[in-house]
Amino acid sequence: MPPLLIPVVVFIEGFCSLGAEIIALRRLVPHIGSSIVVTAPTIGFFLLALALGYAAGAKINDRYLQVVARNFLISALLLGIGFSTPFVNGLFAHIEPVWLAYTLLIGGILCPLAWLLGQTVPALTNLMQTRRTGEASGMALYWSTLGSFLGSLGLSVLVMQWLGISAAVALCALFLLIGALRLQRAPEVSTRGWQVLAVFLAATLLIIGLNVPLLRGQLLNEPQEVTETAYADYSVIPTQTADGEPVRAFKVNSSTASLISDGSPPRYARYIDYLRQTLLKDLKLKNSDILVLGAGGFTLSHREPLNRYTFVDIDPKIQTIAEQQFLHEPIRGKFVVDDARHFVTNTAKHSGDRFDVVVVDVYSSHHNIPSHLVTREFWHDTRQVLRPNGVLLANLILDSKLQSDYARNVLATIESVYGRCAIEVLHKDRPLANVEVLCQNGGSSLSSKPAKHYTDEKNAADIDHARANAGR
């Protein structure tokens, strides 16, 4: 047996097992977000399946190389097909409720993959020629963990950033195929050469076809090109308004983030029209500094020369995508690549920059706001970067009747920092609607002076009304 065969195979196992976990978490973002209630169970189920794989691998008594080769081949197909864009999007598009689709993806793809790959280290440790069991297991774990480290770092920082999530899927799947093929060619393994090569060639073509966007579009007749980054999936779709005017829809994670037309004046999404109306007509802003957290399609500042805009978004590629595929012109304003929470916190503490308006329009899935952007601390920091009498404008997607615990708690959290805010619900006839919240920086926090409740037993409504109108 070649001396480096086992270390290389174990390295591939570590690289691809943790790579599969990272890929799974990224694939879930467009559909159910990246909150702790999503990431924690996903990691937990992965580790449980991996532990069960270790136990299963310890029970293998012979044909170690054949078993690992088989496991690598099956894992490559599970990874390359099960985490491909068409499969994941199709799963969440056709399976309801969303928790069932999640269960099928994690229980049917990620966990079996982890269980298969988990068998690698205990199985191959039996073939390591050392004098001590501890030395064999220690070196096997070293190569596996080293692979996991490089897999997590390389896929998240390099591959996903520059080539996209589909490239990460294809890379891991092809690594597993290479490992399986090398094991099949070992002298200790008796195989029929041409049949093995045919199987591996077919698997390679299938994986590449499903995970290379250009080939995938031809194979599945996809109508639009999807640009995948480490943070989101983007696409621009030709569509039309209710009155038949052609527009382009800028989709982020399969959700329409913005609309634009080539007419004069251009047409925008309804919530963008509302925000522009509030800024330019209601507030009559001119020569003002406006901070926009969440770039979307950059339509808030489109052909708007009266004010200065600073857009903050975590994805460094969104500007290029919006300019080339959506706006068809350069953005108007300054673009900063940063997490929204980090930007406002750092600006509040270390920078003298202050803004007349802060617009919050950040999402991690169809309607899910990242959890660290709905806390009192975040809203407090947005208030700190506002000038006196500055304005907060938040675009939220909540139930249209504002009856859910989430809706009531989010709004109560904002008002605990800013005081009473104006709330406008767009699309009241839909289950989920854009909810526009406008708060004045000059208001007093409701947390220090909670509102009273009027009851039949103790009713001060008339007195409060008289006090409110005394100074008018």
What letter would DSSP give residue 444? Answer: P
Question: Any residues with CB less than 8 A from the CB of 313 and at least 6 apart, and which?
Answer: 294, 295, 319, 335, 336, 337, 338
- Characterise 287 by phi-psi region: left (phi > 0), alpha (psi -120 to 50), beta (else): left
Q: Are 203 and 73 in contact (CB under 8 A)?
A: yes
Dihedral of CA atoms 243, 248, 251, 257 in degrees, nearest 10, equals -60
Q: Are 283 and 439 in contact (CB under 8 A)?
A: no
Given 361, 456, 462, 464, the catalytic residue:
361
Both tokens of residue 174?
A: 């092809």
Q: Are 369 and 334 in contact (CB under 8 A)?
A: no
Is residue 361 part of the annotated active site? The answer reads yes
Taking the C-alpha atoms of residue 27 and residue 79, their distance in angstroms, rounded to an integer, is 12
Taking the C-alpha atoms of residue 419 and residue 20, their distance in angstroms, rounded to an integer, is 45
Taking the C-alpha atoms of residue 79 and residue 176, their distance in angstroms, rounded to an integer, is 9
Question: How many CB atoms are located within 10 Å of the residue 449 CB?
Answer: 9
Instruction: Assign 247 to helix, strand or coil.
Output: strand
Q: Tokens 């500042």 identify what position?
A: 301
Active-site annotation, residues: 361
